[in-house]
Amino acid sequence: MGLCFEMEPERYKLSELGQFLRSDHPRSLRARILFNVEVLSPIWGQMLDTTRTGASGALAALGMSFYEYLQQHPNAGELFDRTMADAIRYRVEAALEAYDFARFRKVVDVGGGNGTFMLAMLKRWARLEGVVFDLPGVAERTRAKIAVLAESARCTVEAGNAFERVTEGADCYVLSNLLVSMADDEATEILQNCRRAMAGRGTVIVVEWIMPTGTEQPDEFRRWDTASMDLNMLAIDGALGWRVRTRDEFEHVIAAAGLVLTRVVPTTSAVSIIECTGT
């Protein structure tokens, strides 16, 4: 596969490509590869049955739902967090380059995981105040991680269920890589809770893939990354409506939540910035 080469019999060295397997590489893919093999691969093994019947690949392979498995297996949950953190290099940083958050006072990252997105945002904009909002188990790990960082003075971690409520009083709510693993009614419910919680008119920012339609011709990487994410959602639990949405589908759930899609900002990565405001 070009990951290593044989220097002499029984002695091998990593190639330039193989360096990405190292944990200390600045663009390491180690966590993602381990997660793909240990968690996603068994789920993909159910793809034929999932395609034929719509049955959950995660339920068949893991014996429970995908997120329930991550919660009940801390090692897998931690590996998932590290995998999502890796995404900052080609998703989050691209999003922060494309969109200026400087005009906001307080930003809540809903489903913010281990705080990677929020920490990158706080490092870039020194006057910003941030909140990472996630389920209790995730929030506990994230709180311990952020407590030892300089950004902890401007960042709090709050535990809760976004289907019930989110942190109130912020003027910006970010949902990154979240709605893709939800059915339309669930996505609408989360967006509605953000609209209710926001201060004043407020802004909701969705950072996700948009499935191209019609004559849209994305570049090779954007096409590949979008399609692979869509297939991941199908493999895990496509029967629940998990998928990469088209722009029209995004507009539908956003309008149903009482929000207005004001613009879509492309990034250098496969994701786009979908900006919404309250009505």
What CATH number is given to the structural domain containing 162?
A: 3.40.50.150
Per-residue pLDDT of the chain (279 residues; tens, 9 = 90+): 899 999 999 999 999 999 999 999 988 899 999 999 999 999 999 999 998 988 889 999 999 999 899 889 989 988 988 887 777 677 888 999 999 999 999 999 999 988 989 999 999 999 999 999 999 988 988 899 899 998 899 999 999 999 999 999 999 999 999 999 999 999 999 999 999 999 888 999 999 999 998 887 788 888 999 999 999 999 998 778 899 999 999 999 999 999 999 999 999 999 999 999 986
Instruction: Provide the sign of the torsion angle of the four alpha carbons 61, 91, 141, 205, taken in this order.
Output: negative
> What pLDDT score was predicted for residue 18?
95
Q: Is residue 43 part of a domain?
A: no
Residue 177 lies in a domain: yes
What is the structure's pLDDT at 188?
Answer: 97
Q: Would you state the pLDDT for residue 90? A: 74
Task: Take residue 246 and report the two structure tokens written for it.
Answer: 């088209």
pLDDT in the model for residue 197: 95
Residue 207 lies in a domain: yes
Q: How far is CA 96 from the centre of its chain?
A: 14
At 216 the pLDDT is 79
Question: Has residue 8 been placed in a domain?
Answer: no
Our count of domains for the chain comes to 1
Supply the range of the domain harboring residue 266.
99-278
Looking at residue 254, what is its pLDDT?
97
The answer to whether position 129 is within a domain reads yes
Residue 197 is assigned to a structural domain of this protein: yes
Query: Is there a domain that residue 251 lies in?
Result: yes
- Within-domain flag for 83: no
Task: Please report the pLDDT score of residue 104 as a whole number.
Answer: 96
84 SS3 class? helix
pTM: 0.87
